Amino acid sequence: MVSQTLFNERLGFVFVCSVSNTKRKNPFYVLIPEGQAVTGVIMADQLRSLDYRARRAAAISLCPEELLIEVLRKIQPILF
């Protein structure tokens, strides 16, 4: 999730980036470091809004802060 917790709780939506194990050369892909519960690359150019309540979605792991910062850096030029 890349959206703020307060936003998520109030609206029931989250913004997420897709994750893939297909490693292509793409400047918007961020490699997930080894040792994490999730493997592959975070596709920062595949930002999605999901109704997590309707999907009954739950977080499966926490993202290291450095990884989140890198993903947000990749998203910034797309949105601003």
- Chain segment 11-60, per-residue pLDDT in tens: 999 999 999 999 789 999 999 999 999 999 999 999 999 999 999 988 88
Give the whole-angstrom CA distance, residue 80 versus residue 13: 21
Residues 6+ apart with CB under 8 A from 32: 19, 38, 39, 40, 41, 42, 67
Residues 56, 50: Cα–Cα separation, whole Å: 10
What is the rounded CA–CA span in Å between residue 38 and residue 42? 10
Model-wide pTM > 0.85: yes
Q: What domains appear along the chain, each with residue ranges and CATH number? A: 5-79 (2.30.30.110)
